[in-house]
Amino acid sequence: IALQGFELRVLHLPLVSPFTTSFGTETVREVIVVRALTDDGDGWGEIVTGAAPLYSSEYTQSAWDVATRFLTPALLERGTLAPEDVAGVLRPFIGHRMVKAGLELAVLDAALRAEGRPLGEYLGAVRDRVPSGVSVGIQSDPAAFVDAVGGYLDEGYVRIKIKIKPGRDIAETAAVRAAFGGIPLQVDANSAYTLADVETLAELDAFDLLLIEQPLQEDDIVDHATLARHLRTPVCLDESIVSAKAAADALALGATSVINVKAGRVGGYLEAVAIHDLCRDAGVPVWCGGMLETGIGRAANAALAALPGFTLPGDVSASSRFYTRDIVTEPAVLEDGHVRVPTGPGLGVEIDQAALDDVTVERVLVRR
Ligand code: OSB
Ligand code: MG
């Protein structure tokens, strides 16, 4: 595809309710949207960084800086390239995987739209809809957790994930388990514990959880392996899995027995497919994580989650779980507990230009 430029925008999308994790509370989703301008039309991508480096080291201004000063110039320098070339062109630049993922997606979308080919088909999707799980932020107390979870179950979500942190874990999980019986339930600690918490974490074994997500820090691969030997609950890494190599290493060490696949965290949807492939070959279940995506990333996540190795429901929820007004004309909806995989060319969603303009707080155009 022949590149003419990249337009980047910082968006501020108000959340329908505050979202609290072990690392903080968000009321507005700050995110970056990418438009690749090409000779064959536009393509869209999303850089899933947040306002502060709390989930990982990446954040809005680091993403903006590296994208405008290094990554988009390197791609534009090449002029013409295939989506499969993007990761290689960007490889000399260390890290900044969320930025690389957003740029790659924009190029991929442009190329697939030009070909009239859906992203799902290109990635290897084998389903036309995916089961939808929901990630429930930390609530004020266990009773509030029960209320929140009950609401999502009423909407039809087929799997619940609750966020936990030290001191806000056992009673919360117990309350949700007691209120709703044998629902598919898992917890996400977002790196909030250390190996010193092994006894607390082992108490979670009583609740028959599908998995515990990222209990320890990103770098704690060996500690996760040690922890996993002390738990009956399967350990599932999120933050730690930054590449297919990291996934293979974590599996080899016994640090994880399930993997949360997020394209942003691993540098793109193609690297995400590589993780899917290696896990499938190893018989390791994977599921599609989320980063409060707009309709752009949400469409791509639905396509990814439709690959055959995604055997557990992902955090691919309806747009309305986070937003009252999305930036695409047909936001993802929940139908019988599932989200449809778009079938149109590329992402298969169209941008709502007025909605996009309304939430844009910063804009730049990088041209050849
Ligand atoms: O750890 O999975 C996570 C949101 C932001 C950052 C990290 C995480 C999350 C979620 C929400 O859990 C997933 C979603 O529904 O998009
Ligand atoms: Mg997580």
Give the tens place of pLDDT for each residue, 306-363: 999 999 999 999 999 999 999 999 999 999 999 999 999 999 999 999 999 999 999 9
To test ligand 1's pocket by mutation, which of 55, 60, 135 has the most ligand atoms within 8 angstroms of CB? 135
Which residues fall within 8 angstroms of residue 281, CB to CB, at 6 or more apart? none
Of ligand 1's atoms, which has the minimum distance to the CA of residue 316? 15
Q: Return the residue whose CA atom lies nearest to atom 1 of ligand 1.
A: 190
Q: Which domains does the chain have, with CATH numbers?
A: 3-116+351-367 (3.30.390.10), 121-340 (3.20.20.120)
DSSP 211-227: -EE--S-TT-HHHHHHH
Phi-psi region of 202 (alpha: psi -120 to 50; beta: other; left: phi over 0): alpha
Give the tens place of pLDDT for each residue, 173-206: 999 999 999 999 999 999 999 999 999 999 999 9
| Ligand 1 neighbours (beta carbon < 6 A) | 55, 135, 188, 190, 238, 289-292, 315, 317
Q: How many CA within 13 A on the CB side of residue 97?
A: 20
For residues 47 and 297, the answer to whether their CB atoms sit within 8 Å is: no
| pTM, full prediction | 0.98
Give the tens place of pLDDT for each residue, 231-257: 999 999 999 999 999 999 999 999 999
